[in-house]
Amino acid sequence: MSSTPTTEQVNAALATVQDPEIHRPITDLDMVKSVEIADDGLVRVGIYLTVAGCPMKGRIEKDVTEAVAKVSGVTRVSVELDVMSDEQRKALQTKLRGGQAEKEIPFAKPNSLTKVFAVASGKGGVGKSSVTVNLAAAMAEQGHKVGVVDADIYGHSVPRMIGASERPTKVEDMIMPPSAHGIKVISVGMFTQGNQPVVWRGPMLHRALQQFLSDVFWGDLDVLLMDLPPGTGDIAISVAQMLPGAEILVVTTPQQAAAEVAERAGAISAQTHQRVAGVIENMSYFIAPGTEERTYLFGEGGGQSVADGLSRSLGAQVPLLGQVPLDMRLREGSDEGKPLVLSDPDTEAGQVLRKIAGDLVGKPRGLSGMQLGISPAGR
């Protein structure tokens, strides 16, 4: 007959259960309220939820039950759910911020190891958001911890494109972002009803972006991608003020009219003192099914023209990172919340996007990368 399990054994099992939103053990987050063990092997576990009506309570209850049931001697598991008090939530918030109660933008700290890319375009309709989503998905698939801020306040579309249908959860004034395909996502679209437009002016836009960066619990990200609105307006300026170390990715199409506008979007970096990581030419050409012949529907050379123009005006080499062909599956994947780089990785567009993602971030960060906030290119 099995011996009665000990409290230490049960706590060790509970330490293997992670909060599905915060991605830390529930024991570290002080979510375990009580553990009671009966002589017949019945284990009663009390769990604190961060908020009433937590959308993940079913998942937490299931994970706790399964973990404790594996302990030798346990015959049955009973999970009782409770809700944290205001004081407990504030203590959790302080713990998640590393002991700092005040709000701060973690990516702006000098010792931050997170690479931040602001994805910009001169005009709308060039596929900036779909490029952002596919780069994020490729980076996550390559082993990186990735977050996406949908900073295109008026034209927010990232949640649909990435397949993030859940709403964020609030713990006090900290926001837990939903995730899809291993990518954490936040968007103003998650806070509006239906398809209501956002009618905000400069100061409110600045405050919304600040909240996305400081109030959202991102955890330890390797990469943060920010999908900016087209042009050189308030949001681009706010990003430069809040995250001066962010690098700019310019997305354009091959046609010269789009290229000229895209070059202006990249040239803002001369005034904000940000680095332009490179140019991505989207919708570069079309390959008809069953052929290998390229048709240049929107002309040629726009991406290289932007890269050359920015190199001259900034006095630093700005590379053309890649040319992404026009592919119906890229659009279909965006509509269905399934990024092309995951659903059809072997397509030419998928391969180009995956290569760009790999070139931008390199290998996944390990313990060796924790020494200094210096990228290999800066040595």
The number of folded domains in the chain is: 2
Q: Is the pLDDT of residue 104 over 90?
A: no
Question: Does residue 376 fall inside a structural domain?
Answer: no
Structure confidence by residue, pLDDT tens digits, 37-57: 998 989 999 999 887 667 778
Q: Is the pLDDT of residue 365 over 80?
A: no
Query: What predicted TM-score, i.e. pTM, was given to this entire model?
Result: 0.71
Same domain, 218 and 259: yes
Q: Is the pLDDT of residue 125 over 70?
A: yes
Q: How confident is the model at residue 379 (pLDDT cuts 50, 70, 90)?
A: very low
Say if residues 184 and 219 touch (Cβ distance below 8 Å): yes
| Average pLDDT taken over every residue of the chain | 82
Structure confidence by residue, pLDDT tens digits, 178-211: 889 999 999 877 776 655 544 444 456 667 778 8
Question: Does residue 323 fall inside a structural domain?
Answer: yes
Say if residues 150 and 156 touch (Cβ distance below 8 Å): yes
In DSSP terms, which residues pair with 326 in a beta bridge? 286
CB atoms within 10 A of CB 374: 10
Same domain, 348 and 234: yes
Q: How confident is the model at residue 376 (pLDDT cuts 50, 70, 90)?
A: very low
Same domain, 78 and 204: no
Tokens 């504030």: give the residue: 90
Say if residues 226 and 118 touch (Cβ distance below 8 Å): yes
Residue 115, domain CATH: 3.40.50.300
pLDDT at 340: 93
Same domain, 147 and 68: no
Question: In this structure, which amino acid lies at residue 262?
Answer: A
Q: Is 364 in a helix, a strand, or coil?
A: coil
Same domain, 17 and 135: no
Q: Which domain holds residue 200?
A: 106-363
Q: How confident is the model at residue 122 (pLDDT cuts 50, 70, 90)?
A: confident
The 8-class DSSP code of residue 18 comes to B
pLDDT at 154: 66
pLDDT at 233: 59
Same domain, 83 and 143: no
Question: In this structure, which amino acid lies at residue 78?
Answer: S
pLDDT at 89: 80
Structure confidence by residue, pLDDT tens digits, 140-183: 999 999 999 988 766 678 888 988 878 888 776 678 888 899 99
pLDDT at 363: 59
Residue 48, domain CATH: 3.30.300.130
Question: Does residue 1 fall inside a structural domain?
Answer: no
Same domain, 124 and 90: no
Structure confidence by residue, pLDDT tens digits, 284-322: 989 888 888 888 888 888 889 888 888 888 888 889 999
* Average pLDDT of span 73-101: 80
Same domain, 280 and 176: yes
Identify the helix (H) or strand (E) that includes residue 358: helix 348-361
Say if residues 339 and 181 touch (Cβ distance below 8 Å): yes
pLDDT at 199: 45
Q: Is the pLDDT of residue 1 over 70?
A: no
pLDDT at 378: 41
Question: Does residue 379 fall inside a structural domain?
Answer: no
Same domain, 78 and 200: no
pLDDT at 204: 64
